[in-house]
Amino acid sequence: MTKLNWAGFSKKTLPERLEHISRSGLLSTATDRLLKENQQLPLETANQMVENVLATFSLPFALVPDVLVDGKVYQVPFVTEEPSVVAACSYASKLMKRYGGLTTTVHGRQMIGQIALSGVSDMEKASKAILDQQAKLLALANQSYPSIVKRGGGAVSCRLEPLAAEDNHFLVFYLSVDTQEAMGANMVNTMMEALVPELERLSGGQSVMAILSNYATESLVTASCRLPIRILSRDKKEAKRLAEKLVLASQLAQADPFRASTHNKGIFNGIDALVLATGNDWRAIEAGCHAYASKDGGYKGLSTWTFDSQQNEIIGQLTLPMPIATKGGSIGLNPMVQVAFDLLGQPNAKELASLIVAIGLTQNFAALKALISTGIQSGHMKLQTKSLALQAGATESELPLLLPLLSKEKHVNLDKVQSILEKIRANKYS
Ligand code: HMG
């Protein structure tokens, strides 16, 4: 693999960027060709993946270069429709890399399945009967999905919880499963359904449902960073003021669900982009993480930022459930997902989960840094303007004249872009 300088990557043209990737040696001959030919999901494959297919639907596939996580540098593929997300994450990761990047801890990697039993007349007796048969139940679960046991995974443990809901009582059985490199929805659902008859027999109740939970609290990952406050400004006084403001921004997201929702949306700008690029189920990740944001009873910001005034450092932390997969599901069907995994250096599921949470914290830092200083509009709108120009029908050759004119405008909307474009076309600016 060739060690390349990624500085100035954003200033390259599209052919130059592709050439740079080729020279990096990250891609195989096959994936390099897939990327250069912009090979999309074949219609025949799409037709096998979901129902009632009519066509395929494309999104931009971009790169956030040089992200330093746990001492390793990654070139990170992003799939997103939103301008400034890639730029912001690239900008923040470039800054963070100078100061050691991010570190992560994987606290676990197990999926949870649940069977809710209703109509249990004696909760205590039923719980005892089930817990006495734990070993048998784990064996039954594993027999229903032997291939995961061969791969070194399988059902690991179980627990029970009595729950009251309105005028009903449930006895909920939870199973923890080591799903190895897969997200494991199929695997866990098969195991849960296999356990239903035995659990109904032991409890005397009836199963309401048997299903995987997306609240993957046994797949938690923490990403952290510790950065000198000069990352916020070269001016010492201003850097301290911004560090204090960053803490306020973090506290606001803990106290106000209106802010927490936007704060977390900023985190998911990066997370979803990488989850999508790797062909993973982003609804599962979003659902689990938003449930985690409410774990203390109210919806809160997922990341926190503190200021160590002794060391003059800001400390960022983000913990999320991240049951990501590198195998299974539709991974491998989309040619661009193969490119994504090669760009990332073929990480395993734990490494990919770490990188995704680290990207969430990086993206959050970029947005907060802008919000507490210049405001979001200057950087975001500069890039959003290009999108508006394209929506207004500007051609590539008109952009070099149009964009500088738009940058002089205080407020840019589609009408404004169209009126300037008309003037350009009427030669009023030449
Ligand atoms: P800048 O200082 O003008 O950037 O910032 P620069 O031109 O000096 O370039 C520095 C580096 O930034 C580049 O390095 C790139 O890495 C990156 P280089 O490649 O030159 O070595 N960069 C770019 N990468 C790709 N394409 C570009 C590009 N421009 C810079 N065109 C920047 C400009 C936009 C980065 C900055 O203003 C910024 O980070 N703003 C924040 C924007 C943001 O967060 N957008 C997300 C969408 S807004 C949102 O939905 C979330 C939010 O609501 C969340 C919340 O409230 O918490 C805000």
| Domain over 379-425 is classified CATH 1.10.1060.10 | no
Kindly list the distances between the CA atom of residue 321 and the CA atoms of 106, 151, 188, 217, 241, in Å, as whole numbers in the listed order. Answer: 10, 23, 17, 6, 33
pLDDT surpassing 90 at residue 321: yes
In this prediction, residue 411 has a pLDDT band, given cuts at 50, 70 and 90, of confident
Rounded to the nearest integer, the mean pLDDT of the chain is: 95
Q: Where are the domains of the chain?
A: 14-107+220-375, 111-213, 379-425
Is 70 an active-site residue? no
Instruction: Please report which confidence band the pLDDT of residue 303 belongs to, taking 50, 70 and 90 as the band edges.
Output: very high
> How is residue 234 annotated by DSSP?
S
Q: CB of 156 within 8 A of CB of 108?
A: no
CA of 379 to the centre of ligand 1 (A): 6
Topology (CATH) of 111-213: Alpha-Beta Plaits (3.30.70)
- CA-closest candidate to residue 79, choices 63, 94, 92: 63
Out of 3.90.770.10, 3.30.565.10, 1.10.10.10, 1.10.3720.10, the CATH code matching 14-107+220-375 is: 3.90.770.10
Q: Which range is least confidently modeled, 5-14, 63-72, 371-380?
A: 371-380
User: Is 82 a known active-site residue?
Assistant: yes
What string of H, E and C letters represents the secondary structure of 239-268?
HHHHHHHHHHHHHHHHHCHHHHHHHHHHHH
Quote the CA–CA distance of 59 and 78 in Å, as a whole number.
10
% of residues, the chain, pLDDT over 70: 99
Does the predicted model carry a pTM greater than 0.75? yes
pLDDT at residue 236 is higher than 90: yes
* Spacing, Cα 382 to ligand 1 middle (Å): 9
Is 380 part of the annotated catalytic residue set? yes
Pick the more confident residue, 234 or 410. Answer: 234
What is the separation of C-alpha 216 from the centre of its chain, rounded to a whole number of angstroms?
A: 14
Q: What is the pLDDT of residue 430?
A: 60
The pLDDT score that the predictor gives to residue 386 is 82
Does residue 196 contact residue 175 with C-beta atoms inside 8 Å? no
The pLDDT tens digits for 337-388 are 999 999 999 999 999 999 999 999 999 999 999 999 988 777 777 777 888 8
Local structure of residue 182 (DSSP, 8 states): B
| 169 has catalytic annotation | no
Q: Say if CB 326 and CB 275 are below 8 A apart.
A: no
User: With a 6 A CB cut-off, is 411 part of the ligand 1 pocket?
Assistant: no
Among residues 82, 200, 244, 398, the one annotated as catalytic is 82
